[in-house]
């Protein structure tokens, strides 16, 4: 088994066509709180991945989880994370940025229509599978440990706000157009988008006052 990635919360191992995500203990957290948090996030990610399988939403296929070892087993997704695709100007012609942004917005719209809040919408949490075969590529969302089920416009607006902030800091050269393109596609995909967008402008004002 090879170490695939080590994030702040988890180690990811690759075992042939599978990925094992193991949430690691955080020494700075109280032992019981740390256990509880890791167990909660492991179970939550497993539950959301199962629901996404049922919906046929593009995400890694779920296999199993263990809340003693704090692991989730899912399919390995072959391809670069969207952050790297959008950062490598040489590889992606200008007009493809827009198409990718539209896919991001459309897919978030599908999640929200099903009352799934991602909780950590960044371009590192999206993998462009089959990148080389452009007509057939699939944008798979990953990292559902901070997800929740909610029908509240507020929660959906905050989800979009986090994406907005992530795009601004990670893809400043494509911002704000990239977020506008994503929002346009979100509106088309989610019939309840109006309420969420109304809320989003309130969330954004709130964010500005905090600065
Ligand atoms: N199913 C997968 N297939 C391929 N790579 C993956 C998969 N899941 C995660 N990764 C890689 O591991 C990284 C970290 O995984 P992620 O679930 O986002 O954990 P973290 O909470 O540490 O951000 C991702 O950015 C991606 O590069
Ligand atoms: Mg991540």
User: What CATH code is carried by the domain that includes residue 68?
Assistant: 3.30.200.20
Same domain, 192 and 100: yes
Distances (CA, A) of 20 to 5, 32, 158: 10, 23, 29
* 62-66 and 148-149 strand pairing: unpaired
Whether the Cβ atoms of residue 182 and residue 168 lie closer than 8 Å to each other: no
Q: Which amino acid residue places its CA nearest to atom 18 of ligand 1?
A: 143
Q: Ligand 2 centre from 8 Cα, in Å?
A: 9
Same domain, 64 and 113: no
> Would the pLDDT of 132 be above 70?
no
Of 15, 43, 75, the one marking the end of a domain is 75
What pLDDT, on the 0 to 100 scale, is given for residue 15? 97
Same domain, 201 and 159: yes
Residue 133 phi, psi (nearest 5): -100, 85
Of 53, 75, 97, the one marking the end of a domain is 75
Q: 96 pLDDT band (50/70/90 cuts)? A: confident
Using alpha carbons only, how large is the chain's radius of gyration in Å? 17
Distances (CA, A) of 96 to 74, 124, 135, 176: 29, 18, 11, 16
76 lines ligand 1 (CB under 6 A): yes
Same domain, 147 and 185: yes
| CA–CA distance, 15 with 35 (Å, rounded to integer) | 25
| Domain CATH code at residue 170 | 1.10.510.10
pTM of the model: 0.96
124 lines ligand 1 (CB under 6 A): yes
| Residue ranges making up the domain that contains 174 | 82-210
Q: 133 pLDDT band (50/70/90 cuts)? A: low
Whether the Cβ atoms of residue 65 and residue 72 lie closer than 8 Å to each other: yes
Same domain, 128 and 174: yes
10 lines ligand 1 (CB under 6 A): yes
Whether the Cβ atoms of residue 26 and residue 75 lie closer than 8 Å to each other: no
Q: Which amino acid residue places its CA nearest to atom 12 of ligand 1?
A: 5
Q: Ligand 2 centre from 158 Cα, in Å?
A: 18
Same domain, 41 and 116: no
3-state secondary structure of 22: strand
Of 75, 99, 127, the one marking the end of a domain is 75
Same domain, 88 and 13: no
Same domain, 122 and 144: yes
State the DSSP code for 136: G
> Encoding tokens for residue 124?
């590192």
Ligand 1 atom showing the smallest separation from residue 75 Cα = 1
Same domain, 86 and 28: no
Same domain, 153 and 178: yes
What is the domain count for the chain?
Answer: 2
Q: 22 pLDDT band (50/70/90 cuts)? A: very high
- Give the H or E element holding residue 37: helix 31-55
What pLDDT, on the 0 to 100 scale, is given for residue 93? 72
Whether the Cβ atoms of residue 101 and residue 164 lie closer than 8 Å to each other: no
Catalytic annotation present for 120: yes
């Amino acid at each position: 088994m090879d170490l695939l990635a080590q994030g702040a919360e988890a180690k990811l191992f690759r075992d042939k066509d599978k990925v094992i995500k193991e949430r690691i203990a955080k020494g700075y957290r109280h032992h019981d709180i740390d256990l509880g948090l890791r167990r909660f996030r492991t179970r939550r990610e497993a539950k959301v991945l199962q629901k996404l399988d049922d919906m046929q939403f593009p995400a890694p296929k779920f296999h199993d989880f263990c809340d003693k070892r704090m692991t989730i087993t899912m399919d390995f997704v072959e391809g670069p994370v969207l952050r790297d695709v959008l950062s490598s100007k040489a590889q992606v012609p200008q007009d493809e940025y827009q198409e990718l942004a539209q896919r991001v917005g459309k897919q978030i719209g599908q999640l929200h229509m099903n009352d799934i809040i991602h909780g950590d919408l960044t371009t590192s949490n999206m993998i462009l599978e089959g990148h080389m075969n452009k007509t057939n590529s699939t944008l798979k969302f990953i990292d559902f440990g901070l997800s929740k089920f909610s029908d509240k416009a507020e929660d959906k607006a905050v989800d979009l706000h986090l994406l907005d902030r992530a795009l601004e800091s990670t893809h400043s050269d494509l911002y704000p157009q990239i977020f506008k393109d994503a929002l346009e596609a979100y509106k088309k995909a989610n019939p309840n988008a109006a309420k969420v967008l109304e809320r989003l402008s309130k969330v954004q004002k709130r964010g500005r006052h905090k600065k």
